Amino acid sequence: MKIIEVIPFVLNEDLEKEFFFSQWEYSNRKISIVKIICDNGLVGWGEAYGPAPVVKESINYIKKNIIGLNPLESDLIWSILFRRVHDYGRSGVFVSAISAIDVALWDIKGKYHKLPISTLLGGSFREKIRPYATGLYFSDSKTLTKDLCEEAVGYVNDGFKSIKMKVGLNIEDDVKNVKEVRDAIGFDVELMIDANHAYSYDEALKLSKKLENMEIKWFEEPISPEFYDQYSDFKAKTSIPVAAGECEYLRYGFQKLLDKNCIDFLQMDICSCGGLTEAKRISSLSSTKGVKIIPHTWGSGIAFFTAINFISNLEPIPGRLYQDDAYIEYDRTENKIRENIIKNDIVMKDGYISVNIKPGLGIDVDETYLNKIKI
């Protein structure tokens, strides 16, 4: 079996309603995916997290290096691709491009062996995964706090047991919004906050102190990802657990986060950190520090099922008879691409999503829809 074609796409859908967070606003979604075709007819799908048009061209740049290779040899292919961009692409879009290709190769491997990716990774430690609702973004509404509370209550009514909301407007408004949302949903529902690295060290620490009695499960990206020493100091001075990693790349970047004791929850994005091959390596590093992994998950249904398969295989830390829940991020903002690019439904029952038991990623891509929205 040999790879004969690698085809990247950019998918584009305008949003019906804009929303924003601490860094910028969204008016549409662009997502880069890749299709790998083998000489025996097997097809694999992957996705990249990053600026879609740039990622597409990065895939086009490196894809010639794997034509004719055996897709089952994913470690070898990963190494070939990484060496090709090593001098100038140890993070960023080239690693995202490698990630998309790597995920597609694992999809092919699963289909070839007629096994889910989680089995090929070493087996599933669980039968179900707990999704947390990512939402509560900002808008220009004059009743923003009220809107956030109503949105949060809606997620609770939908069956979510955990909710993540955005912070990063300013400390005063963040405190008001978080406290009102907490009051609206009560303390039986987990609440996380995400600043998208909007704050300085002093600001993040001030905000965390004001929210320490709100039972926040984690404070995500309180400060900029470059400042490892600040993360370490911040973690030592707040009682709120710290989460980060979506802006980090490769095991080498995550080793810095872990060695400097920066985080309580590690949040690599599988579709940008180096793919499933590298995510597995990062999970081994994380296990040596006793740090739990809850991947950042964004984009289409391809990325979502990539995360489902990976999380299924995450070793419980610590191991015990009755495990803690494993979590998956479930973005609740408008996402027509996620809902339509795959024919599979994402089904939540009693607050959980079942693991994948189908070959590969376990998805069926709707190529009619793909061809309709590609640019």
Left, alpha or beta for 265 (phi > 0: left; psi -120 to 50: alpha)?
beta
**SS3 letters across 86-145:** CCCCCCCHHHHHHHHHHHHHHHHHHHHHCCEHHHHHCCCCCCEEEEEEECCCECCCCCHH
Residues 6+ apart with CB under 8 A from 280: 121, 310, 313
| CA distance linking residue 368 with residue 375, whole number of Å | 14
Contact 167, 197 (CB under 8 A): no
The sign of the CA dihedral 289, 290, 296, 300 is positive
Helix, strand or coil, per DSSP, at residue 165: strand
Residues 6+ apart with CB under 8 A from 180: 145, 148, 149
Q: What is the DSSP string of 282-351?
A: HHHHHHHHT-EE-----SSHHHHHHHHHHHHTPPPSS--SSPPPPEEEEE-S--HHHHHHBS----EETT
The catalytic position among 86, 113, 197, 296 is 296
Structure tokens, 254: 């995550």
- 86 is an active site residue: no
Q: Which of the residues are catalytic?
A: 296
